[in-house]
Amino acid sequence: MDHEILVKEFRQTIRALKQKNGPISLFMLKAFEYDVTDWNLIVSAPAYDNLMLKAALIDLVTVLNKHLSQAIRRKIIRSTILKTTDPFVKEINQVFKVTNSVKYVHSSVISGIYLEKAIIFESHPNKHKGS
């Protein structure tokens, strides 16, 4: 899949998600295993912190379905929502500060999790209390 198309569609999706739910602490794609054609979408946002996981996932998937093409949606084999207080989110946000750009990560270990390949679209500390 062409990364330019992937980035463009996810940028539009992030804008829509921010309009609907406010700030995003982390929005990234992590390659699933060693297959760089399938992705795990990882999202962390203050708006999701107080929701039950099912409600947060329904909200996220609704936005994804509305703003991503079917071809890109097929490449997302898992969607993960993490609390803004999660150690992985905190460490990613300390190491990578990404806003209005894209950061490609290769062969890194963050909070004990190996990132063979990842694309970070948004990564910045939560400015709300508790961060």
pLDDT digit string (tens) for 1-10? 467 777 888 8
Among the ranges given (36-40, 46-50, 67-71, 90-94), the one the predictor scored with the smallest mean pLDDT:
36-40
Q: What is the mean pLDDT of residues 43-68?
A: 94
d(CA 64, CA 117): 21
d(CA 3, CA 84): 27
- Is the pLDDT score of 129 beyond 50? no
Paired sense of beta strands 103-110 and 113-123, if any: antiparallel
Share of the chain above pLDDT 90, in %: 41
> What domains lie within the chain, and their CATH numbers?
3-123 (3.30.300)
What pLDDT was estimated at residue 83? Answer: 94
User: How does the average pLDDT of the chain come out, rounded?
Assistant: 84
pTM of the model: 0.86
Residue 22 parent element (H or E): none
